[in-house]
Chain A
Amino acid sequence: MTSNSPSEKRLDELREQAWDKGVVEGRGVDVAGGPIPRRPGYYGEPVVRPPVWTWEIPIYFFIGGFSGMAAVIALIGLIFDHDDLARTAMWLAAIGAILSPILLILDLGRPRLFLNMLRVFKHQSPMSVGAWILFAFGGCAIPGLIALELHARQIFTGGFEQFLQVVAFLLVLGSAFWGMFLATYTGVLIGATAIPAWFLHRTLLPIHFGVAGLGSAIGLLELLGYRIAPLGALGFLTAGTQTALWIWLAIDKHGAADRALHEKGTGWLIRSGEILLGPLALILRLANFVPLAGISFLLGALISRFGWIWAGKVCARDPEAVFASQR
């Protein structure tokens, strides 16, 4: 065999790779007694399974987030006589209440069995609690919007009109109640799993998702023309909180266990999401570029949701992350 033979060439490649990176990518190179550093665990095979969720889930987290918190704005708007704002906010809530289940059903392995989600209620399963929250939210937000619209257009008169007003308020109240949990439970959903990058940040995640939902609802309402002082104040608050969370995550590092959040592609995805949500949105608001701040926040909220789901996938494929989280 000459040194030009393909197998010798391949061997040289492997040697070079081993010198440069300390690890060799490729199959069948991980043998005992060999010259090549061995991969962690069992031939580097994953210890926990990566999530099977695809693009539907981060988009659902985004839509569920802003629509749930939009219902909260709608309720407060009604209380403080911003009827027009409340109506627009309820439109956002109702649109979210329709799109969210569609996205969730699309992501199921067997979409035709989606109703089995409501077969039982299990308080120890955030997926079950979440399905019921979404169901209750939809049951309030969609009729709530209809009642609000009928009331606003003064279609009925007299006693029924007064009754409609009360019903609309109660339904908006219900939407706000379920909405605030719809926006935050998603953090519990991924926080209470076996994936280190997620469960190590189970306290941060509901705050991050909830505040991103509130800020997104405000951003959307401002982009729709509601440039009023209370929304502006909440815009500052949400961007400020996200800046604080950005710093929290940067400090609260767990080494190999959550390196998927800080390194490589998923690290950049999460980081750019955080910068758009926090510091950039805050600076744009301070400079009085309100629509731009809203766009920055919305983009950040979307990117950060993708970042977290994909970081979970990367982290689950990394056996060292699991071992590091348990040592």
Chain B
Amino acid sequence: MIGEGTQSTNQRRHNYVQESVEVGFFTDPTVCIGCKACEVACKEWNEVPDDGFTWLGNSYDNTGHLGASTWRHVLFLEQDRQKGNQIVGSHSLGDGNGDDPFRWIFLSDVCKHCEEAGCLEACPTGSIVRTEVGSVFVQNDVCNGCGYCVVSCPFGVIDRRPEPLPNAGGAFKCTFCYDRQKSGLVPACAKVCPTESIVFGRLDDLRARASQRVQQLKQTGHDDAQLYDPQETSVRGIHAFFLILGEPEAYGLPPKPQVPTIYLKSAWTSAFATAIASIIAALVAFAFFS
């Protein structure tokens, strides 16, 4: 938390990997200033290549979305709103004058590290694994680039890196800085976040802290503050959860994400029935039409 200085969980050394403690990210847009230090720190530490500059014109966001070469992505939401005022900028929290029809929200998006991860279940090579801290990690040297995780992620996070970028052909996403965590360091994005909009820490602590923050915002008049952590769907919760203002759709977040393995039963039943029916049909055709 801001003001904790070196005692903040973003700055302290830890032994979470050694102690197998579940960790998470809590990302809070109400204190984000849109500096994109997380995007830069992530690229630098993880040696994520430059995938070219495209002018998108999405407010001040020209990154677009998460992908094989973008593991942190700061969203710039411009919202028309008749009530309420900007949370960041010249207006202070809940001063209630309500004149500004616009609000501007920044949110640093990242891989959600699902409890039931679609990419991990789908990976045919066993390249994608669950780590001691509960994060989802892609072992780059094992991945053969089949692309099945890409269509299995309900959040559209993981992607295959195209030629001619370095290490092209493999699937990439946020590693939760597993290498840093193993040495007791905090993930690069959380370490550099100047406002602690990104907080790294123990999952249970962060969940408590997040619901506290939602309450606090609601008390100050931000009725549309809510936690984005889909625990009721088959994803069963995420390790990197977000506080959001308004509906998840505006952030490009699916309102009810589902892990695709829930579709297996009906699809395989259909496949088995078709297979058996084909054999029977062929037997009948040859027995009665010969």
Which residues of A are at the interface with B, using a C-beta cutoff of 8 A? Answer: 27-33, 40-43, 45-49, 51-53, 69, 72-73, 76-77, 79-80, 82, 107-111, 113-114, 116-117, 119-120, 122, 124-128, 130-131, 176, 180-181, 183-185, 187-195, 198-199, 202-207, 210-211, 214, 228-234, 237, 312, 316, 319, 322-323, 326-327
- Residues from chain B with Cβ under 8 Å of A49 in the complex: 67, 150-151, 153, 156-159
Question: Using a CB-CB cutoff of 8 Å, which residues 169-199 of chain B contact chain A?
Answer: 169-171
* CB <8 Å contact, B274 and A206: yes
B101 interfacial by beta-carbon distance below 8 Å: yes
Given known A28-B55, A109-B160, A194-B151, contact A229–B275 (CB-CB < 8 A): no
Q: Does B207 count as interface, using CB distance less than 8 angstroms? A: no
Q: Which residue of the partner chain, among A31, A234, A322, contacts B78 with CB atoms under 8 Å?
A: A31
Bound: A126/B55 CA distance, A: 38
B255 close to chain A: CB less than 8 A: yes
Closest 7 CB pairs of A and B: A109-B145, A28-B57, A109-B169, A42-B252, A32-B78, A113-B144, A128-B124
Q: How far is the CA of A190 from the CA of B254 in the complex (A)?
A: 20
Interface of A is mostly: helix
Pick the contact of A33: B101, B170, B287 (CB < 8 A).
B101
Q: Which residue of A lies closest to B255 (CB)?
A: A326
> Do A120 and B125 have beta carbons less than 8 Å apart?
yes
The distance from the CB of B192 to the nearest CB of chain A, in whole angstroms, is 24
* Contact between chains at B144 and A116 (CB < 8 Å): yes
Residues of A within 8 A of B145 (CB): 108-110, 113
Known A-B contacts: A30-B57, A193-B152, A206-B274. Give 16 more (CB < 8 A): A45-B252, A76-B283, A76-B285, A80-B286, A108-B169, A127-B124, A188-B270, A192-B260, A193-B151, A194-B260, A202-B270, A203-B266, A203-B270, A206-B270, A210-B274, A323-B254
Q: Roughly how many angstroms separate A184 CA and B269 CA in the complex, as a whole number?
A: 11
How distant is the Cα of A111 from the Cα of B101 in the complex, in angstroms?
A: 53
A residues less than 8 Å from B271 (CB atoms): 181, 184-185, 187-188, 206, 210
8 A/B residue pairs, CB under 8 Å, sorted by A: A41-B249, A52-B147, A109-B144, A109-B146, A119-B125, A120-B126, A192-B267, A326-B255
Q: Which residues of B contact A228 (CB under 8 A)?
A: 290
Among B61, B126, B288, which residue has its beta carbon within 8 angstroms of that of A119? B126
Contacts of A232 in B (CB 8 A): 289
Q: Given A117-B144, A119-B126, A206-B274, A234–B285 Cβ distance below 8 Å?
A: yes
For the complex formed, measure the closest distance between the CB of A91 and the CB atoms of chain B, giving whole angstroms. 18
Inter-chain CA distance A206–B55, complex, in Å, is: 42
A282 to chain B, nearest CB (A): 16
Query: B residues 256-290 with Cβ under 8 Å of A?
Result: 256-258, 260-261, 263-264, 266-276, 278-279, 281-283, 285-290
- Among A47, A124, A214, contact of B121 (Cβ-Cβ < 8 Å): A124
With A27-B55, A42-B75, A193-B260 known as contacts, the answer to whether A52 contacts B282 (CB < 8 A) is no
Contact with A along B245-257 (1 / 0, CB 8 A): 0000111111111
In contact, B286 and A230 (Cβ under 8 angstroms): yes
The answer to whether B19 has its CB under 8 Å from any CB of chain A is no
State whether A203 touches B267 (Cβ < 8 A): yes
Counting CB contacts under 8 A, is B154 at the interface?
Answer: yes
Chain A: minimal CB distance from B37 (Å): 21
Min C-beta distance of A232 to chain B, whole Å = 7
On whether the beta carbons of B124 and A125 are closer than 8 Å, the reply is yes
Pair B58/A52 contact, Cβ less than 8 Å: no
Q: A49-B151, A80-B287, A230-B286 are in contact. Are A110 and B144 (CB under 8 A)?
A: yes
- Assess whether B264 is in contact with A188, with CB atoms less than 8 Å apart: yes
For B126, B146, B267, B279, the residue with the greatest tally of chain A CB atoms inside 10 Å of its CB is: B267
Residue of B nearest to A237 (CB): B281
- Bound complex: CA A232 to CA B289 (Å): 9
Instruction: With CB as the reference atom, state the residue of chain B lying closest to A313.
Output: B151
Shortest B72–chain A CB gap in Å is 15
Q: Judging by beta carbons under 8 Å apart, are A48 and B147 in contact?
A: no
Q: In the complex the two chains form, what is the Cα distance from A26 to B277 in whole Å? A: 51
A69 to B267, CA, bound (A): 19
Instruction: Point out the residues of chain A lying under 8 angstroms from B126, CB to CB.
Output: 119-120, 122
Complex: A28 Cα to B64 Cα, angstroms: 12
Contact A48 B151 (CB under 8 A): yes
A230 to B285, CA, bound (A): 5
- What are the residues of chain B within 8 A of A131 when measuring CB–CB? 124
Q: Which residues of B contact A323 (CB under 8 A)?
A: 249, 254-255
Q: Determine which residue in A33, A109, A316 has the highest number of CB atoms from chain B within 10 A of its CB, and name it.
A: A109
Q: What is the distance, in angstroms, from A202's C-beta to the closest C-beta of chain B?
A: 4
A125 to B125, CA, bound (A): 10
> With the chains together, A64 CA to B152 CA distance in Å?
22
B270 engages A125 (CB within 8 Å): no
**Closest CB of chain B to A236's CB: distance in Å?**
9
Kindly state the separation between the CA atoms of A327 and B249 in the bound complex, as whole angstroms. Answer: 11
Q: How far is the CA of A189 from the CA of B150 in the complex (A)?
A: 13
Taken together as a complex, chains A and B put the C-alpha atoms of A87 and B154 apart, in Å, by 45
B55 to chain A: closest residue by CB: A27
